[in-house]
Structure 1
Amino acid sequence: MAIKLAVIYYSTYGTNHQMAQIAAEAARAAGADVRLLKVAETAPAEVVAGQEAWKAQSEKTADIPAASAQDMEWADAYLISAPTRFGVMASQMRAFIDTLGGIWAKGGLANKAISAMTSAQNAHGGQETTLLSFYVTAMHWGGIVVAPGYTDPVIFKTGGNPYGYTHTQGAEFDENAKSAIGHQVRRLIEVAGKLK
């Protein structure tokens, strides 16, 4: 039976959208049933429209469905990807998380495998704290954190972050980046399969 994976992202300018797409493709290749979902934009429409790159990304991904509590209930595992904002996840992702109280209260988020990815403008812009702070949320849910650790040599080729893939905005998604994301999502699926 295929693992049901929700790849949920927020992306202002496209970096985390690309990361989520790479992960979704790798998960499908590994046999998972995948839903690629974005979280709803919380910034005012006039602010988004006032920045050309932000507006373009919003228009480019208009057809991607918004994540819901029902998607969280459906999934066996979650891969979350959101940019770093001042050392924690972007407020749009936190706003989505804040809608999950009902499903959390009935145990609908417990015992599910969870992994996360992030990006920032520079290599030391808070990526590790972003991932670790999200994993605290996952622990409150009763989720099972599945970080990549140092379980594949490619981790060292992409910055050596054992908590989850991190990307510097504007850097190319080369084969090492794609391999690291693919490894993380396959590991997540493997652990989710053992839990299921």
Structure 2
Amino acid sequence: MHSDLFPETLAPWREDIVPGAVVLRAFALADAASLLDAVARLVVAAPFRHLQTPGGQTMSVAMSNCGTRGWVSDRRGYRYAETDPASGLPWPPMPAALAGLARRAAAAAGFEDFAPDACLINHYVPGSRMGLHQDRDEADLTQPIVSVSLGLPAIFLFGGATRSDRPVRLPLEHGDVVVWGGPARLFFHGIAPLKDGHHAATGACRLNLTFRRAL
């Protein structure tokens, strides 16, 4: 609520989840407008699309990528690719505004020298969700994950080392950033079905920027 009414006065603060995982509340709020402008340009070059899982299901979240590599999924499996399968062209370069925010957030969470080479851009509409999963397709699992929330609020599910571990439910607002690595790097996580709503910055959707070091 405060972020909608008084965005310019909300100071960032930190919430620890488990060792190695933190929520940086309002960390990206001051940069949100420039991030959204950058995303709007990126998805002209690499439009959102609904990927297929190896099992043949269509993901409810629409996705795109920027950086030297992009995460893709189809019947052949989950992987990173240097080119967009839809166009055959390289993914658009990662804008400095995005990479800079990711580095600052990682450092604020205790992970220095993070240099992301991939940014997944996820587009959620009401009803879309992300099931519990691990981020394990990256070559260097010592590097953290940085996840930026923009637009509609969401419930972030953060579990443990096994799928059966009961996840905690963490509300995320526009401008919040979650960072996890170290002992929490392979913890299961996801997003509960997005609720109906409207946000002044994005309308009836949520955008999520997830930064990784793929190689």
TM-score where L is the length of structure 1: 0.30
**Higher share of residues assigned helix:** 1
TM-score where L is the length of structure 2: 0.28
**Higher share of residues assigned strand:** 2
